[in-house]
């Protein structure tokens, strides 16, 4: 598999969001044994690790990675999206889990494929490997839904990351907040429990931003974003801009 991005400098203008039939601009490489989507110029010294949601390599998520890589031509990033589920993501038809069968399948998936500790343990190895092979000097990390929990747990003391973002995060816990050691932005949807997010934010000791998207569903910046709806598309674009602005400021 190629270890080089297929993107050219010409693509590194602010990309228009494609509502349907998106064709990813990057390529795939292997990192720590995992198939990994890579996008952005290979000469960039700063990088973003993307932790997808439980539905894996969805077009909306890969389009978001391309936006993070090249939306700002003056400050591009290498962006990496590892396949932490080894080609076995959750089926999007299981969500929402509105019957017993869907609930059972999702429960089994979280207990096996999506156990956070297994993923968190791999991240330092991946970052170290990419630092050597791709020349990355500074890192940020962003996670969606389930990935938001992974980001929380990867932002503690001695983290390799300089800044973190969680978009419509799952499993928000106040207990995670005091140990977070880097600037953090969270973009909750209208489906996240406000009390949980408020308690989490109050426990932070680092620069932080919480920007609510109350009219968006859990998952609008990733697999569940219906970009054929104008309002969703607009808020998808705004969410990615907020994340990039935050990373620019804190990296």
Q: What is the pLDDT of residues 196-224, one digit of tens each?
A: 999 999 999 999 999 999 999 999 999 99
Q: Which CATH number belongs to the domain containing residue 190 in this structure? A: 3.40.50.1820
pLDDT tens figures, 61-92: 999 999 999 888 788 899 999 999 999 999 98
Q: What domain range includes position 66?
A: 9-250
Is the distance from CB of 50 to CB of 81 less than 8 angstroms?
Answer: yes
pLDDT the model gives residue 15: 58
- 4 within some domain: no
Tell me how many domains the chain contains.
Answer: 1
Q: Using DSSP, how many helices (H) and how many strands (E) does the chain show?
A: 6, 8
Distance CA 149, CA 63 (A): 22
Q: What is the pTM of this model?
A: 0.92
For residue 157, is it within any domain?
yes
């Amino acid at each position: 598999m190629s270890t080089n991005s297929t993107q050219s400098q010409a693509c590194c203008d602010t990309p228009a969001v494609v509502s349907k039939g998106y064709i990813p601009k990057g390529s795939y490489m292997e990192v720590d044994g995992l198939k990994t989507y890579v996008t952005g110029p290979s000469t960039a010294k700063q990088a973003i690790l993307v932790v997808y949601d439980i539905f894996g390599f969805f077009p909306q998520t890969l389009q978001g990675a391309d936006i993070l890589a090249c939306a700002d031509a003056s400050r591009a990033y290498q962006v990496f999206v590892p396949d932490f589920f080894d080609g076995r993501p959750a089926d999007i038809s299981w969500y929402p889990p509105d019957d017993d069968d869907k609930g059972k399948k999702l429960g089994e998936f979280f207990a096996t494929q999506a156990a956070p500790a297994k993923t968190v343990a791999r991240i330092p190895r991946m970052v170290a490997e990419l630092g050597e092979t791709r020349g990355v000097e500074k890192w940020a990390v962003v996670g969606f839904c389930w990935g938001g929990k992974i980001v929380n747990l990867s932002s503690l003391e001695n983290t390799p990351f300089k800044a973190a973002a969680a978009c419509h995060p799952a499993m928000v816990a106040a207990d995670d907040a005091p140990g977070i050691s880097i600037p953090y932005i969270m973009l909750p949807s209208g489906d996240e429990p406000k009390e949980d997010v408020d308690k989490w934010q109050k426990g932070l000791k680092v620069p932080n931003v919480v920007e609510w998207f109350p009219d968006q569903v859990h998952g609008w910046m990733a697999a569940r974003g219906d970009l054929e709806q104008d309002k969703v598309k607009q808020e998808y674009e705004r969410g990615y801009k907020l994340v990039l602005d935050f990373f620019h400021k804190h990296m």
